[in-house]
C-alpha cells in the first residue's frame, strides 16, 4: 500500500504540478523574488555573487593602493571610506578589515555561493533530466539564507566600530575578545551571525543537490552517464554537507566565548600584566585556541575543494564539448574527484604547521597532502588529453577553461612546496602562500565561474548569448594580468616578505621591493577595470544579447540543450527525454556528436545543418 | 508513463532521502563537538564532575516518547485515527517534558557549582546538551503541528481526503525518523558524557 501511495505522489510531482505551473501566470513576486524555479534561483545566486565579487575585488584594490604607495594620500579613499581613511590614508585597523572582508566575501559569497550555488542550481535538474530540485521550497530558502547572510555582512561594513578585522579564519583569541581590536567588537558578532546564516544556506542547498542527483535522474541516466559537471557538483555538496556543520560547531563555541563567559578557546591571557577575566570576574582559563583551528580547518580545507570542484567539472564539460572530442578518461575523472573528496578531509592540519603542531602528526598530514597531487595530476593530464588534437572552438568559454588548466598547474606546483612542513614553516607567513592560494583556488575558481557564465549564458538568460569580442578582451587582460599580479608574489615570498603587513617602508629588508609592489598594484587595478568589460557584456547581453537561433548552439550532447530556448518551470514542455548514452560521444563513427537522448537505432542525419533544423 | 512511475516507487522518496542527509549533517555537527571535547580533555586542566541524575530521567522520558510515536505511526497506517491522535499527543507531552527535565538538570548541575562559564568540561556539557535540546525543540514544534492536523475536520469528506493524503503519510514517516534520531542522539551523548567525564 505504501508503494502505491508514494507512486501516486510522484505522479503528481512530475506531471500534475508541472502542468499547473504552465496554465497559470505567476505573479511578479512568485516569479522573480520568492521563486521556487531552480533556474530563477540560479540567476539570483549569480547576480548576488557578481555584486559581491565587485565589492570584494574593490576592497583588494583599496589595500593594494596602500601596499604600493604607502606614503601617498588618495582623497577618493576618504570619499568612499570616511573616517577609516582620514586624509586619504587608510587606517591600519581598516586595512585589516578590508583584507578580512575581501577573504570572507570572495571565498564564501562569490566562489561558494556565486559559483557552486549558481551552477548547481542551474545545471543539476537540466543535465540529469528533472523538472526541478527535490525540494524547490528548501532551494528557495537556501537562496534567502544566503541573501540574509550577505545583508548582515553588508550591515557590518557600516557600523561605527567597523567590520571584522581578524582575518577570514577568525582565529581566537584575537577574534574571541571584543577588546582585542575595533573589528573584534560588534563587527565580529555580525560576522559570526552572517556565517551561521551562510552555513544554513549551504546545507539546505547541499542536501537538495545530493538528493536530486541520486533520486531524480531521468530514465537511462545512470551515474556513469552523468556529465562531469554533475559529478563535481555532487562531490562538492558531499564536502559541504560533511564539513560545514563542523564549522558551525566551532562558530557556536566562539559565540559562547565572546558573549557568555565560557573559555573554550581562551586561556591565561594577560593584558598589561593583568589577567583577563570574564564578566563575572573569573579568570579565563582552560581553553585552547588550537582547538578552534582544528574545527575551522576541518571545514576550511574541504572548503577550497568546494570552491574548485565545480570549476573543474565545468571545465571538463566545456573542454570536451568545444574540442569536439570525448573527455579523456571519463571514469578516471570521476575517480579522481572522489579521491580528492576523501583526501580533503585528511589534510586540514597542513594549515597549522606553524601553530605548534606535533611534528610527528605533521608528517602524516604532509603525506596525505602530497597524495592529493596524484588525482590532481590525473585531472590535468586528462584535460590536456581531451584538447590534444581536438577541433577546438576558441570561444571565450574555451579560453577561460584553458586558462583554468594553466592556473591550476601553476598554483598546484607551489602546493607541492607548501605541503611539505619543512618548507612550509619558512614560507607560511609570506607572500608565497598568498600567491599559491590565489592562483590555484581564487583565480582558477574565478575562471571556472567565467567558463560557466560564458557557456551557459543562453540557459541563464532566455536564450541570449554574450558578445564574443568583449569576451576575448576580458579573457586576455584577465589572464595575462592575473599572472602579472601573482607571479611576482612568489619572489616576494621566497625573499621572506611577510603577508598581513600594513606597510613595508619602515623595514630596510623589505623596502627594496617597493617597485615590485607598485607593479603588482598597477596590474591589479588594470585587471579590476577589465572586469567592467565583463560586467557591461553581462548586463547588455542579458537584456539585449542576440538570441540563439537553434536549441543547441554548441552542438552539445547533454540534456540542457533539449529544453526550449526559454524553458518554463518544469523545463521540458512534454515528457522528459530518456537517456541512452554517456555525455561525451563526440566524433564517434564519423558523426560530430551524438546527444544523450538519441537512441541507438535512431537515424542520425549526417549533415549538421539538417540536425539544427530538426532540433529547432 | 506508468513504467516511469513504477520504477520510481522502488527508490526512496527524495524528501525522505534529504531528511537522512540532514540527519547526517546533525551527526557531523555533534561529532565535531564531541571530538572537540576529546581533544580539549586530552590537553589537561580538566575538572571532573558527576552528571546530574535528572539526565537519566530525561533519557527515560524521550525513550518512552519514541515508543509512543512508533505505535502512533502503526496506528496511522492501520487507519486507527483516534489511537493515532492519542499516541501522538503522548509523544508531544513526552517531548515537552524532556525539555523541561533538561532545564531542571542544568539547574541541578549549576547547584553542584558547575556553571556554563568556568572549566570547559562543564561548558561542553551545557553547550552540547543545549544544542541537542534545540533539535528536540524543533521536533516538538513539528509534533505539535501534526497533532493539530490530526484533530478531525467537521466536514467528513474533507476529513477523509486529509486522512488518505499520501503527503501526510510521508510526513509522519519522516517525523518519526527524526524523532527516533534525536532520541538516539541523546543516548549517545549521555553515554559519551558518562564515559568521558
B9 located within any domain = no
CB A239 within 8 A of CB A308: no
With CB atoms and an 8 Å threshold, state whether A262 touches B8: no
Interface test with A, best of B5, B19, B189 (most A CBs within 10 A): B5
pLDDT, residue A556, reads: 93
Interface test with B, best of A1, A6, A285, A574 (most B CBs within 10 A): A6
With CB atoms and an 8 Å threshold, state whether B25 touches A298: no
B99 located within any domain = yes
Residue-wise pLDDT for A189-206, tens only, equals 999 999 999 999 999 999
With CB atoms and an 8 Å threshold, state whether B25 touches A253: no
In this prediction, residues A274-286 reach a mean pLDDT of 75
Q: Is B167 on the interface with A (CB under 8 A)?
A: yes
B153 located within any domain = yes
Residue-wise pLDDT for A536-572, tens only, equals 999 999 999 999 888 999 999 999 999 999 888 889 9
Residues of chain B found within 8 Å of residue A280, distances taken between Cβ atoms: 117
A68: which 3 cell numbers?
604600493
With CB atoms and an 8 Å threshold, state whether A242 touches B24: yes
Interface test with A, best of B28, B121, B132 (most A CBs within 10 A): B28
Distance from CA of B89 to the nearest CA of A (A): 24
Q: Is A574 on the interface with B (CB under 8 A)?
A: no
Residues of chain A found within 8 Å of residue B5, distances taken between Cβ atoms: 7, 10-11
| ω into A369 cis (within 30 of 0) | no
Q: Is B22 on the interface with A (CB under 8 A)?
A: yes
* Selection from A419, A391, A388 nearest residue A405 by Cα: A388
pLDDT, residue A603, reads: 55
pLDDT, residue B4, reads: 42
Q: How confident is the model at residue A526 (pLDDT cuts 50, 70, 90)?
A: very high
With CB atoms and an 8 Å threshold, state whether B24 touches A250: no
Residues of chain B found within 8 Å of residue A205, distances taken between Cβ atoms: none
Distance from CA of B28 to the nearest CA of A (A): 6
Q: Hey, how many other C-beta atoms are within 10 angstroms of the C-beta on A381?
A: 14
Euclidean distance between CA atoms A43 and A461, whole angstroms: 8
With CB atoms and an 8 Å threshold, state whether B117 touches A282: yes
In this prediction, residues A68-95 reach a mean pLDDT of 91
B4 located within any domain = no
With CB atoms and an 8 Å threshold, state whether B117 touches A260: yes
Euclidean distance between CA atoms A510 and A614, whole angstroms: 66
With CB atoms and an 8 Å threshold, state whether A211 touches B21: yes
Considering only residues 296 to 315 of chain A, which have any Cβ-Cβ distance to chain B shorter than 8 Å? Answer: 298
Interface test with B, best of A142, A262, A265, A361 (most B CBs within 10 A): A262
| Cross-chain CB nearest to A5 (options B14, B46, B169) | B169
Distance from CA of A3 to the nearest CA of B (A): 6
B168 located within any domain = yes
Residue-wise pLDDT for A146-169, tens only, equals 999 999 999 999 999 999 999 999
Give the ipTM of the model, two decimals please: 0.89
User: Lowest-confidence range among A1-15, A69-83, A304-318, A370-384?
Assistant: A1-15
Residues of chain B found within 8 Å of residue A141, distances taken between Cβ atoms: none
Tell me the pLDDT of chain A averaged across its residues: 90
Q: Is B170 on the interface with A (CB under 8 A)?
A: yes
CA count, 13 A, side-chain hemisphere, A109: 34
Q: Is B96 exposed, middle or buried (0-12, 13-18, 19+ CB in 10 A)?
A: middle
Tell me the pLDDT of chain B averaged across its residues: 89
Q: Is A174 on the interface with B (CB under 8 A)?
A: no
pLDDT > 70 fraction of chain A, expressed in percent and rounded: 93
With CB atoms and an 8 Å threshold, state whether A295 touches B166: no
Cα A381 to chain centroid distance, Å, stands at 23
B2 located within any domain = no
Distance from CA of A241 to the nearest CA of B (A): 6
Residue A135: closest CA among chain B residues belongs to which residue? B15
Q: Is A355 on the interface with B (CB under 8 A)?
A: no
pLDDT, residue B167, reads: 79
The single residue listed with the C-alpha cell 548541575 is B109
Contacts of B70 (CB under 8 A, 6+ apart): B176, B180
Q: Is B9 exposed, middle or buried (0-12, 13-18, 19+ CB in 10 A)?
A: middle
pLDDT at A611 over 60: no
Residues of chain B found within 8 Å of residue A4, distances taken between Cβ atoms: 9
pLDDT at A348 over 70: yes
pLDDT > 90 fraction of chain B, expressed in percent and rounded: 65
Residue A285: closest CA among chain B residues belongs to which residue? B119
* Selection from A123, A75, A60, A95 nearest residue A531 by Cα: A60
Q: Is A261 on the interface with B (CB under 8 A)?
A: yes
> E-assigned strands of A401-526?
none
DSSP 3-state of A70: coil
pLDDT > 90 fraction of chain A, expressed in percent and rounded: 74
DSSP 3-state of A588: strand
Contacts of A220 (CB under 8 A, 6+ apart): A578, A579, A580
pLDDT at A532 over 70: yes
Kindly tell me the sign of the dihedral angle through the C-alpha atoms of A487, A489, A492, A495: negative
Euclidean distance between CA atoms A105 and A110, whole angstroms: 6
Residue A237: closest CA among chain B residues belongs to which residue? B21
pLDDT at A613 over 80: no
CB A13 within 8 A of CB A5: no
Looking at the DSSP bridge assignments, the partners of residue A275 are: A270
Query: What CATH code is carried by the domain that includes residue B138?
Result: 1.20.120.80
pLDDT at A128 over 50: yes
B51 located within any domain = yes
pLDDT at A608 over 70: no
pLDDT, residue A601, reads: 66
Helices A289-323 & A444-460 angle (0-180, nearest 10): 50
- Which domains are delineated in chain A? 37-267+283-615 (1.20.210.10)
Euclidean distance between CA atoms A182 and A554, whole angstroms: 53
| Cross-chain CB nearest to B39 (options A135, A211, A291) | A291
Quote the number of domains for chain B: 1
Residues of chain B found within 8 Å of residue A209, distances taken between Cβ atoms: none
Distance from CA of B60 to the nearest CA of A (A): 27
Contacts of A458 (CB under 8 A, 6+ apart): A464, A465, A548, A553, A565
CB B71 within 8 A of CB B87: yes
User: Lowest-confidence range among A8-17, A197-206, A436-445, A519-528?
Assistant: A8-17
A447: which 3 cell numbers?
575562471
Euclidean distance between CA atoms A369 and A17, whole angstroms: 48
pLDDT, residue A588, reads: 79
Q: How confident is the model at residue A602 (pLDDT cuts 50, 70, 90)?
A: low
With CB atoms and an 8 Å threshold, state whether A7 touches B6: yes
Q: Domain range holding B185?
A: 15-195
Residue-wise pLDDT for A415-469, tens only, equals 999 999 999 999 999 999 999 999 999 999 999 999 999 999 999 998 999 999 9
B109 located within any domain = yes
Q: Is A612 on the interface with B (CB under 8 A)?
A: no
List per-residue pLDDT tens for chain B, 197 residues long: 334 443 444 467 888 999 999 999 999 999 999 999 998 888 878 888 989 999 999 999 999 999 999 999 999 988 888 999 999 999 999 999 999 999 999 999 999 888 888 888 899 999 999 999 999 999 999 999 999 988 887 888 877 777 777 778 889 999 999 999 999 999 999 999 999 87
Amino acid at each position: 500500500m505504501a508503494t502505491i501511495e508514494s507512486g501516486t505522489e510522484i505522479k503528481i510531482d512530475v506531471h500534475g504540478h508541472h502542468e499547473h505551473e504552465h496554465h497559470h501566470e505567476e505573479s511578479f513576486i512568485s516569479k522573480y523574488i520568492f521563486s521556487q524555479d531552480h533556474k530563477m534561483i540560479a540567476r539570483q545566486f549569480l547576480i548576488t555573487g557578481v555584486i559581491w565579487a565587485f565589492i570584494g575585488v574593490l576592497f583588494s584594490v583599496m589595500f593594494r593602493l596602500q601596499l604600493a604607495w604607502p606614503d601617498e594620500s588618495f582623497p577618493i579613499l576618504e570619499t568612499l571610506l570616511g573616517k577609516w581613511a582620514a586624509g586619504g590614508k587608510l587606517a591600519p585597523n581598516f586595512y585589516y578589515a578590508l583584507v578580512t572582508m575581501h577573504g570572507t566575501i570572495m571565498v564564501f559569497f562569490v566562489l561558494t555561493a556565486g559559483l557552486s550555488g549558481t551552477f548547481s542550481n542551474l545545471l543539476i535538474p537540466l543535465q540529469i533530466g528533472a523538472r526541478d530540485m527535490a525540494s524547490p521550497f528548501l532551494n528557495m530558502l537556501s537562496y534567502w539564507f544566503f541573501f540574509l547572510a550577505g545583508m548582515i555582512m553588508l550591515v557590518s561594513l557600516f557600523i561605527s566600530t567597523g567590520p571584522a578585522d581578524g582575518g577570514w579564519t577568525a582565529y581566537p583569541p584575537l577574534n574571541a575578545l571584543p577588546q582585542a581590536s575595533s573589528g573584534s567588537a560588534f563587527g565580529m558578532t555580525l560576522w559570526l551571525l552572517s556565517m551561521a546564516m551562510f552555513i544554513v544556506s549551504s546545507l539546505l542547498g547541499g542536501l537538495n543537490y545530493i538528493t536530486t542527483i541520486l533520486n531524480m535522474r531521468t530514465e537511462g541516466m545512470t551515474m556513469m552517464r552523468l556529465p562531469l559537471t554533475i559529478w563535481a557538483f555532487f562531490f562538492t555538496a558531499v564536502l559541504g554537507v560533511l564539513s560545514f556543520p563542523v564549522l558551525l560547531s566551532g562558530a557556536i563555541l566562539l559565540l559562547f566565548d565572546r558573549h557568555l563567559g565560557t573559555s573554550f578557546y581562551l586561556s591565561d591571557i594577560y593584558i598589561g600584566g593583568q589577567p583577563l577575566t570574564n564578566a563575572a570576574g573569573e579568570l579565563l582559563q582552560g581553553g585552547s585556541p588550537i582547538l578552534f583551528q582544528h574545527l575551522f580547518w576541518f571545514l576550511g580545507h574541504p572548503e577550497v575543494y568546494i570552491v574548485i570542484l565545480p570549476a573543474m567539472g565545468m571545465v571538463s564539460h566545456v573542454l570536451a564539448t568545444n574540442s569536439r572530442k570525448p573527455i579523456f578518461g571519463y571514469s578516471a575523472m570521476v575517480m579522481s574527484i572522489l579521491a580528492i573528496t576523501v583526501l580533503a578531509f585528511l589534510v586540514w592540519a597542513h594549515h597549522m604547521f606553524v601553530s605548534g603542531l606535533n611534528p610527528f602528526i605533521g608528517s602524516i598530514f604532509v603525506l596525505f597532502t602530497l597524495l592529493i597531487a596524484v588525482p590532481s595530476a590525473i585531472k590535468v593530464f586528462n584535460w590536456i588529453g581531451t584538447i590534444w588534437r581536438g577541433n577546438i572552438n576558441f570561444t571565450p568559454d574555451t579560453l577561460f577553461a584553458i586558462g583554468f588548466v594553466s592556473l591550476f598547474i601553476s598554483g598546484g606546483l607551489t602546493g607541492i612546496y607548501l605541503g611539505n612542513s619543512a618548507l612550509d614553516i619558512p614560507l607560511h607567513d609570506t607572500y608565497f602562500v598568498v600567491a599559491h592560494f590565489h592562483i590555484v583556488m581564487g583565480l582558477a575558481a574565478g575562471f571556472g565561474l567565467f567558463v560557466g557564465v560564458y557557456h551557459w549564458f543562453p540557459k541563464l538568460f532566455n536564450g541570449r548569448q554574450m558578445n564574443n569580442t568583449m569576451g576575448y578582451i576580458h579573457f586576455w587582460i584577465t589572464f595575462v594580468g592575473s599572472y602579472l599580479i601573482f607571479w611576482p608574489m612568489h619572489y616576494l615570498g621566497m625573499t621572506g616578505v611577510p603577508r598581513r603587513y600594513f606597510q613595508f617602508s619602515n623595514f630596510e629588508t623589505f623596502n627594496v621591493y617597493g617597485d615590485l609592489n607598485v607593479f603588482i598594484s598597477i596590474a591589479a587595478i588594470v585587471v579590476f577595470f577589465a572586469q567592467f568589460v565583463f560586467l557591461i557584456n553581462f548586463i547588455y547581453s542579458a537584456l539585449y544579447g542576440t538570441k540563439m537561433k537553434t536549441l543547441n548552439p554548441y552542438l552539445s550532447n547533454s540534456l540542457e540543450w533539449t529544453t526550449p530556448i526559454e524553458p518554463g518551470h518544469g523545463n521540458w514542455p512534454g515528457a522528459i527525454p530518456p537517456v541512452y548514452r554517456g555525455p561525451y560521444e563526440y566524433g564517434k563513427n564519423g558523426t560530430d556528436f551524438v546527444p544523450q537522448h538519441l537512441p541507438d537505432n535512431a537515424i542520425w542525419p549526417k549533415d549538421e545543418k539538417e540536425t539544427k533544423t530538426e532540433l529547432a | 508513463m506508468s513504467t516511469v512511475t513504477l520504477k520510481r516507487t522502488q527508490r526512496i522518496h527524495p524528501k525522505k532521502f534529504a531528511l537522512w542527509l540532514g540527519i547526517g549533517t546533525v551527526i557531523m555537527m555533534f561529532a565535531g563537538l564531541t571530538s572537540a571535547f576529546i581533544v580539549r580533555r586530552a590537553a589537561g586542566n580538566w575538572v571532573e564532575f558527576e552528571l546530574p541524575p535528572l539526565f537519566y530521567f530525561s533519557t527515560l522520558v524521550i525513550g518512552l516518547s519514541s515508543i509512543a510515536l512508533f505505535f502512533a505511526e502503526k496506528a496511522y497506517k492501520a487507519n486507527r485515527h483516534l489511537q493515532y491522535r492519542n499516541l501522538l499527543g503522548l509523544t508531544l507531552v513526552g517531548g515537552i517534558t524532556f525539555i523541561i527535565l533538561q532545564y531542571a538538570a542544568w539547574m541541578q548541575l549549576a547547584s553542584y557549582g558547575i556553571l556554563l562559564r568556568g572549566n570547559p568540561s562543564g561548558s561542553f556539557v551545557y553547550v552540547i546538551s543545549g544544542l541537542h535540546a534545540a533539535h528536540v525543540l524543533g521536533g516538538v514544534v513539528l509534533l505539535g503541528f501534526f497533532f493539530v492536523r490530526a484533530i478531525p475536520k467537521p466536514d467528513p469528506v474533507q476529513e477523509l481526503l486529509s486522512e488518505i493524503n499520501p503527503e501526510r503519510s510521508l510526513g509522519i514517516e519522516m517525523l518519526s525518523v527524526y524523532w527516533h534520531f534525536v532520541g538516539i542522539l541523546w543516548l549517545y551523548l549521555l553515554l559519551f558524557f558518562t564515559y568521558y567525564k
